[in-house]
Structure 1
Amino acid sequence: MAGALPDGDPVPLDGSLPHAAAAAAGRNGFAVYVHVPFCASRCGYCDFNTYTASELGGGASRDEYADTVLRELRLAQNTINPEKVDTVFIGGGTPTLLGADDLGRILEGIDKTWGLAADAEITTEANPESVTPEYLRTLHRHGFTRISLGMQSASPTVLRILDRKHTAGRAPEAAREAREAGFEHVNLDLIYGTPGETADDFAASLQTVIEAGADHVSAYALIVEDGTRMAVRMRRGELPYPSDDVAADRYLAAEAALTAAGFDWYEVSNWAKGADARCRHNLLYWTGADWWGLGPGAHSHVGGVRWWNVKHPTAYAKRLADGHSPGHAREILTDDDRRVEDIMLRVRLRDGIPLAGLDAAGAKQALADGLLEPAAYAEGQLALTLRGRLLADAVIRDVV
């Protein structure tokens, strides 16, 4: 499970925001994130705020969870009034452990509260083994337009090391079922650099993704977080630690295979088949929009105020049952905080960020090191080369 939440300023019991922040809600776009904290089992690498049935005991109920989220939504309605909701993303955990009709009720509640845009993007995450064709059809009837499936790998060996429960063939099968159910967009998630993964394993994973008909791929290097079962195994010497060189090789392999198959990168770890297949929800995060995070441990940002909910589902439900905000703490970002965060996120995008306001010496050095596109630089824009994408964090440090 994730570590302790950060401290911050107290959140008012009614969840109210400073007037200027509330008035600005949705000015640059507005998204809703819904966190579903339930999992059937815990993957060895996972440190998300999620809970299996044995970890929760009798403290929280899946059956009542949608109603609890709707209580937070009613409180949110009294706090801000954005013009519309551009995107909704339900993540976890495994959202599809809830009934499809429960996810539909949450979506309906969001629509009744703030109003969904006519072209709103509606996404849910899912584990491949947690959905069926009928479940997917029901989700689509409720208005879901996009699904993100946690494939991670096509190798049975790698899936076993990651403690994933689905078979190697289930993820592409689920992707095809989602297409048949009417989903406009299907994403498959990959993790690369797992101990024991070979270059051939990853090549097979990429080929599986391409053949599955997904129009979006997210690929992330394995990060081993303290407190996870995988970290314990590595400290014991049961598994080797991930290699940065191997991760770089895997990334280059992903870029080559996906580009050849008609995908284009638009963020360092994300590829899409055409601009309309890009994840609009994540783009709102990356370009400074506002969002409300519903659920235990969920983070929100509105008008320069960021807050985060209490972590445990039982504490979250109790706060709302008492008529109080589930907010644990918040912070009001300074102009400099927002500038730095904007740079950190936008540098990773294909479109990059204007050079104005960046550290000129750092940008010039990054250009000399082959990390920036010369043509974009000449036009006053910072955009990463392929090598720059491999060293994006270093570029960010140089230009902030």
Structure 2
Amino acid sequence: MPQKPPDGAAPPDDGVLPAAALTELAERPFGVYIHVPYCAARCGYCDFNTYTAADLGGALVSSVGLTTFVDIAGAEIRLARRVLGEVGRPVSTIFLGGGTPTLLSPADLARLPRLIADEFGLAADAEVTTEANPESVDPAQLEQLRAAGYTRISFGMQSDRPHVLAALDRRHTPGRVSEVMRWARKAGFEQVSLDLIYGAPGESDADWLASLRAAVDLGPDHVSAYALTVEDGTKLARRVRRGELLEPDDDLLADRYVLADEVLGAAGLANYEVSNWARDPAARCQHNLGYWRGDNWWGFGPGAHSHVGGVRWWNVRHPAEYAARLGAGRSPAAAREELDPDTRRVERIMLGVRLAEGLAFDELDEPGRAAARDLARSGLVEPGGLESDVVRLTRRGRLLTDTVVRALLAD
């Protein structure tokens, strides 16, 4: 089962936010995340809030007068408009994640950006992204998505080795990624991204190098590379617990990360966040940058998380309960928390230090500044950055991000 959400206070049924939170809306970019929680099959390592048709008894939503996922999400979009009022600026990014958003029909996928634009307005240069599994798209669908205003697509490649894909319970073959990349370019997508996973059971150093080279040869604008984690409740965790598979070794994962940085960097993809590389600044994922910079966003869909002006909340997780709440005119939020100034500062440090642009030195208190100088002497923080009042991680520092954060926040 997917991981349990955090605890929080009960939110009001109408979703109303404190006035202080709303005053921040015009001060920072506003993004939209839409969680499409449906998958054709669940990968063994995945603990995201996703459901197959079998999980839902063959039906995607309960019978509450709302007939499709987009109709239901549309009800939450209209609720958000009532709660937020005049945002003060148009939406700058839309990101569809999941799950597998491209299991929705092209017509439904085209409706979602229109619903957002109708309620909030959409910036002329807005980044509109959808994730996609390689087996879930075809040339006609990609052309329809591009015509509907999607500017960016992110394919879950994960690996180029068939036995590694099998260990991850992925359905596509390596050759399929090359096809979908070609189709996306022909359809006119401005930005195409690939996701990779390293450290899977049975993956060798040679396998990982082959996957990196295959990804680079496809000419993506952006690559995300994530270490495999064994999450409680997943099929992978059960197999590890039974001794059928070995849990990834930390030293091995560190070596794989270094190799990724070397290969991707040599191919002209620069690291701009610990796990992300881009061809140039325009290819960076603007939506995710909003998370790391502490911007405002509303997450629509079952289990989606939101943040506006220091208030964070998360929706009920099951699609049927999500639909029932909105069908009854209630907010789908399960719980929320109001972040105090100190918590917000801690989060700015935790997230900001991950970015290659660095963390402003004045975000740190005096013990944190002393720690940053020590970290520079230890080779985890760039000394040159500190001279410009910015805390920037070295490659070794990126490998030990948690260690760096703990040191910067220590009293």
Q: Which residue of 2 aligns with 1:72?
A: 76
Q: Which residue of 1 aligns with 2:403?
A: 394
CA–CA distance in structure 1, aligned partners of residues 260 and 4 of structure 2 = 34
Give the C-alpha shift of residue 124 in structure 1.
0.2
Give the C-alpha shift of residue 357 in structure 1.
3.7
3-state SS of 2:224 partner: strand
Taking the TM superposition and a 5 Å limit, the aligned residue runs for 1:76-115 are: 76-80=80-84, 81-82=86-87, 83-115=89-121
3-state SS of 1:318 partner: helix
Residue from 237, 242, 246 that aligns with 2:248: 242
CA–CA distance in structure 2, aligned partners of residues 4 and 199 of structure 1 = 34
CA–CA distance in structure 2, aligned partners of residues 283 and 314 of structure 1 = 32
Q: Which residue of 1 aligns with 2:308?
A: 302
Q: Which residue of 1 aligns with 2:44?
A: 44
1:60 and 2:66 are equivalent in the alignment? no
CA–CA distance in structure 2, aligned partners of residues 39 and 77 of structure 1 = 29
CA–CA distance in structure 2, aligned partners of residues 34 and 110 of structure 1 = 10
Moved more, 379-388 or 357-366: 357-366
CA–CA distance in structure 2, aligned partners of residues 8 and 255 of structure 1 = 38
Q: Deviations over 1:281-337 (max 9, x none)?
A: 000111111000000000000011101100100000000000010011111000011
Give the C-alpha shift of residue 211 in structure 1.
1.2
Moved more, 20-29 or 46-55: 20-29
Q: Which residue of 1 aligns with 2:376?
A: 367
1:273 and 2:282 are equivalent in the alignment? no
CA–CA distance in structure 1, aligned partners of residues 176 and 354 of structure 2 = 31
3-state SS of 1:78 partner: helix
CA–CA distance in structure 2, aligned partners of residues 258 and 101 of structure 1 = 36
| Structure 2 gaps, min length 5 | none
* Runs of 4+ residues over 4 Å off in structure 1: none
Q: Is the 8 A contact 1:38 1:51 kept in 2?
A: yes
Q: Which residue of 2 aligns with 1:143?
A: 149
Q: Is the 8 A contact 1:26 1:84 kept in 2?
A: no
Equivalent residue letter for 1:269: S
1:262 and 2:268 are equivalent in the alignment? yes
Give the C-alpha shift of residue 242 in structure 1.
0.2
| Structure 1 gaps, min length 5 | none
Equivalent residue letter for 1:372: V
1:339 and 2:345 are equivalent in the alignment? yes
CA–CA distance in structure 2, aligned partners of residues 311 and 270 of structure 1 = 28
CA–CA distance in structure 2, aligned partners of residues 374 and 153 of structure 1 = 36
- When the two chains are superposed, the root-mean-square deviation of aligned CA atoms in Å is 1.2
3-state SS of 1:120 partner: strand
Give the C-alpha shift of residue 393 in structure 1.
1.1
3-state SS of 1:218 partner: strand
Q: Which residue of 2 aligns with 1:284?
A: 290
* Alpha-carbon distance change, 367 to 284 in structure 1, aligned in 2, over 3 angstroms: same
Structure 1 vs Structure 2: percent identity of aligned residues?
56
Q: Is the 8 A contact 1:176 1:213 kept in 2?
A: no
Give the C-alpha shift of residue 58 in structure 1.
4.7
1:222 and 2:228 are equivalent in the alignment? yes
Equivalent residue letter for 1:398: A
Give the C-alpha shift of residue 7 in structure 1.
2.3
CA–CA distance in structure 2, aligned partners of residues 354 and 34 of structure 1 = 31
Moved more, 279-288 or 168-177: 168-177
What TM-score do you get using the length of structure 1 for normalisation?
A: 0.98
Equivalent residue letter for 2:393: L
What TM-score do you get using the length of structure 2 for normalisation?
A: 0.95
Q: Which residue of 2 aligns with 1:380?
A: 389
CA–CA distance in structure 2, aligned partners of residues 41 and 58 of structure 1 = 13
Give the C-alpha shift of residue 182 in structure 1.
0.6
CA–CA distance in structure 2, aligned partners of residues 4 and 247 of structure 1 = 26
Count of residue pairs brought into register by the alignment: 400
CA–CA distance in structure 1, aligned partners of residues 150 and 369 of structure 2 = 44
CA–CA distance in structure 2, aligned partners of residues 299 and 278 of structure 1 = 22
CA–CA distance in structure 2, aligned partners of residues 238 and 20 of structure 1 = 52
Q: Which residue of 2 aligns with 1:173?
A: 179
Give the C-alpha shift of residue 177 in structure 1.
1.1
Taking the TM superposition and a 5 Å limit, the aligned residue runs for 1:180-199 are: 180-199=186-205
CA–CA distance in structure 2, aligned partners of residues 256 and 312 of structure 1 = 41
Q: Is the 8 A contact 1:44 1:228 kept in 2?
A: yes
3-state SS of 2:27 partner: coil
Equivalent residue letter for 2:19: H
CA–CA distance in structure 2, aligned partners of residues 316 and 379 of structure 1 = 48
Q: Is the 8 A contact 2:61 2:323 kept in 1?
A: no
CA–CA distance in structure 1, aligned partners of residues 403 and 225 of structure 2 = 20
Equivalent residue letter for 1:378: E
CA–CA distance in structure 1, aligned partners of residues 201 and 60 of structure 2 = 35
Q: Deviations over 1:345-368 (max 9, x none)?
A: 110100111222421232122111
CA–CA distance in structure 2, aligned partners of residues 345 and 154 of structure 1 = 30
Equivalent residue letter for 2:22: A
